[in-house]
Amino acid sequence: MPTEQLQKLALGLFMPNCSNMPSISTHRVVKDQWTYEHNESLALAAESYGFEYLFPVSRWRGFGGETNFLGTSLETTTWAAALLRATSSINVFSTVHIPLFHPFVVAKMGATLSHMSGNRWGLNVVSGWSEREFGMMGISLAEHTRRYERTSCFIEILKKLWSAEDQPFNYECDWYSVSGGQASPVPEVPPMIANAGVSEDAKNMTARLCDWAFISTPSIDVVGSIIDDIALKAQVFGRSVKTAIFPFLIWGESRVEAEDRLASIISEKDEVATANWLHDLTAGSGSFDVFTSDMLAASGGGVHMVGSAADVAEQLIEAHRAGVNAVMLTFPEYLDDLHRFAKEIQPTLTEAGCIAAN
């Protein structure tokens, strides 16, 4: 579709609330990117540049090796509470592992965060996949389809707990037994719900119950077909779902300079952590089968956008044309790169009609 007929692309950040985000590499690591202070500076800068979304990563344990990739992390509901109070217009999501929380707890946290923030909070659900983390807690990982069945039940309960008209209610499933379920306050506006995942199970669940599909794609060439598939599945339920991806942006004076930078990140890949990441992430999933270890090492699973500033702008415009609604950007050096992005790439996107003027 021509750019001018599309809804504008929304900008967001996939935040570095965990150590070593986003690369599984020892190359030029910014040591304290994960700290709250750094996250708040980023959030305020992003908001000033007209960004609309902040998504965090939820992690409970690192992935070993020299980097212990994502091993130090800030919990995402408490993180969101502080950021929502520090900012005034940007939407902040929390990422929640379904098997680790009871839906009543998440409903209450979500209602609280919504009331605290003028309805700027959203929930990103993850169904769990890391044996490393769950095993450490003595929790077993269910088979893939069952994970999403549980997530569906969780969201159904959540929606009732966020809707006064639906209360009190009873709900029975393999995981939860609710009798006379009620919660107050309910949010003034139902919080946005995103699902992070891209398997058939994930897409089916997202189509029925979520507002956003937060997906990984190996290239922009294939993202359109993933989006069309989710749209078709959602149509069955008379719904539409928006799609967000998380590109990893590297740009320089020239394409060669940017490619060299990417090559340096990959050449200093943390082999142990990358292998652990790949092992857990791909178990039972299928969603990352075409990702090479080098692709994952550079971005954790985000699509690479590399080249001159003009090249990267063009790739973002391509993603928009393919139907992507939002990009949760990741950068090697978040704060510096965000300022550079606003100066060197954002104006091209505005001129092209891809994003709204700030």
**DSSP 8-state code for residue 141:** P
Indicate which single residue of 287, 308, 330, 346 sits in contact with ligand FMN (rule: CB under 6 A): 287
Lookup result for tokens 């570095």: 16
Peptide bond into 168 cis (omega under 30): yes
Residue 23 · residue 332 · CB < 8 Å: yes
> Taking the complex as a whole, how short is the minimal distance between the CB of residue 278 and ligand FMN, in angstroms?
12
User: Per CB under 6 A, does 246 bind ligand FMN?
Assistant: yes
Helix (H) or strand (E) holding 221: helix 220-235
Q: Please state, in angstroms and rounded to a whole number, the distance separating the CA atoms of residues 94 and 81.
A: 9
Q: Which of residues 25-44 bind ligand FMN (CB under 6 A)?
A: none
> Taking the complex as a whole, how short is the minimal distance between the CB of residue 214 and ligand FMN, in angstroms?
4
Distances (CA, A) of 203 to 98, 211, 217: 16, 12, 13
User: Per CB under 6 A, does 74 bind ligand FMN?
Assistant: no
Q: Which residue, 165 or 289, has its beta carbon nearer to ligand FMN? A: 289
> Taking the complex as a whole, how short is the minimal distance between the CB of residue 59 and ligand FMN, in angstroms?
6
Single out the residue of 217, 232, 222, 210 nearest to residue 328, CA to CA: 217
Indicate which single residue of 26, 145, 285, 293 sits in contact with ligand FMN (rule: CB under 6 A): 285
Tell me, by CB under 6 A, how many residues bind ligand FMN. 18
Q: Which of residues 128-147 bind ligand FMN (CB under 6 A)?
A: 129
* Token pair in block for residue 244: 């967000």
Q: Which residue, 117 or 299, has its beta carbon nearer to ligand FMN? A: 299
Residue 304 · residue 246 · CB < 8 Å: no
DSSP 3-state of 217:
coil
Q: Which residue, 16 or 197, has its beta carbon nearer to ligand FMN? A: 197
Peptide bond into 218 cis (omega under 30): no
> Taking the complex as a whole, how short is the minimal distance between the CB of residue 1 and ligand FMN, in angstroms?
24
> Taking the complex as a whole, how short is the minimal distance between the CB of residue 318 and ligand FMN, in angstroms?
19
> Taking the complex as a whole, how short is the minimal distance between the CB of residue 5 and ligand FMN, in angstroms?
27
Single out the residue of 221, 201, 204, 233 nearest to residue 323, CA to CA: 221
Q: Which residue, 95 or 308, has its beta carbon nearer to ligand FMN? A: 95
Q: Which residue, 206 or 308, has its beta carbon nearer to ligand FMN? A: 206
Q: Which residue, 270 or 280, has its beta carbon nearer to ligand FMN? A: 280
Each residue 192-231 as x (binds ligand FMN by CB under 6 A) or -, in order, gives ----xxxx-xx-----------xxx---------------
Lookup result for tokens 């003595």: 138
Distances (CA, A) of 149 to 138, 155, 208, 241, 358: 21, 10, 12, 19, 41
Q: What residues line the site for ligand FMN (CB under 6 A)? A: 57-58, 95, 126-127, 129, 196-199, 201-202, 214-216, 246, 285, 287
